[in-house]
Amino acid sequence: MRELPRILTVVVLTFVIVLLALPAHARSPLVGVVIYGNPGDPITSTYRDAFLRGMADLGYVEGRNISYDVRFWGNQPSGIGSIMEDLARKRVDVILTHGTVAIRPAREHAPTTPIVFAAAADPVSTGLIASLGRPGGKLTGIGLLTPELTVKRLELVREFLPAARRVAVLLRRGWDLHPPFYATLDAIAPTLGLELRPFDYTDVPDAPKTAEMIMAWPADAMLVLEHPLSHLTFFPSAESSPQFHALRTTIPTFCSFRSVAQRGCLMSYGADLADQFYRAASYVGRILKGADPAELPVQQPTKFDVVINMKTARALGLAIPTAFMYRVTETIE
């Protein structure tokens, strides 16, 4: 009888050791999900829910045959690295994330973990992957066609505002993607009869001064180059930045995503990010079944949104042409 506790201890320890030694595929998969924003943000919830719905449609039921570790990095990119390191320590099977600002730390801090991106601005030119057809390494996912869509947004400025001549372009200072995007726009601007001027910023405190400079130029329209923090920086409440609130109700603004139009941008044109999070589930599912991310071709957006904030349009005194409304996928009141 005295030997029974000792035998039980040995059995339990043996079981724990064997469990820890099991390869990841022999256990219920664990997927790390790292999303920009905060848990209560409805936009963040939309992206997360779209991905989980995509996984459910593939037969993955949380608590039965899969688990998720969902993290949010708010508006502090400096914390992304530690999130990725922690997920790597937990031996997650796959990390799902989005945006170059998060993909780069994921690759650096979880180098042996397969990474699926739901949205990446220009993954080849930024060096994230070798090519769209054969990404190589541990990364794959869905791009954003950012260079092409950035040009299209400038064309929309001309189409929507035929009398416009001067367009302010907002760039985030130090963000290496913005200078080449601006150079592309600057090259085609003369063919559209437009003059561009760059205005750079670093963070929220820059918004009031930048707004005053844009209005003093003065600009006929403003194009915001996409960045995860652009909507927080330049579309805050009237109370936190009365200067920028005055700017966006004086000068028509054109942005990348629906989430920015929700915060007051006049018009957004870009990929449907919720759809891309849903589609990203197929990559995660294939990797969990043994596919090599290096061999999974990167896809491009298939659904695009043209969203108009009608409250902002009314504040600007703009009437939306009937013909243009046929292209609008959503209006925000």
What local confidence, expressed as pLDDT, does residue 107 receive? 95
Residue-wise over 92-119: b if at least 16 C-beta within 10 A, else e? bbbbbbbbbbbbbbbbebbeebbbbbbb
CATH level 3 topology of 22-144+273-302: Rossmann fold (3.40.50)
CA–chain centroid gap for 159, Å, is 27
pTM: 0.86
Q: For residues 259 and 132, which has the higher predicted lDDT (pLDDT)?
A: 132
What does the alpha-carbon distance between residue 96 and residue 93 come to, in Å, rounded to a whole number?
Answer: 10
Coil vs helix vs strand at 141: strand
Residue 236 pLDDT class (50, 70, 90 cuts): low
Q: For residues 36 and 106, which has the higher predicted lDDT (pLDDT)?
A: 106
Residue 258: is its pLDDT beyond 50? yes
What local confidence, expressed as pLDDT, does residue 10 receive? 44
What local confidence, expressed as pLDDT, does residue 24 receive? 45
35-58: pLDDT as tens digits? 988 888 788 889 999 999 999 999
CATH of domain 147-271+305-332: 3.40.50.2300
Residue 15 pLDDT class (50, 70, 90 cuts): very low
Residue 249 pLDDT class (50, 70, 90 cuts): confident
Q: Give the type of residue at 296.
A: L
User: Average of pLDDT values for 271-280?
Assistant: 96
Q: Where are the domains of the chain?
A: 22-144+273-302, 147-271+305-332
What local confidence, expressed as pLDDT, does residue 20 receive? 46
Mean pLDDT (the chain, rounded): 87
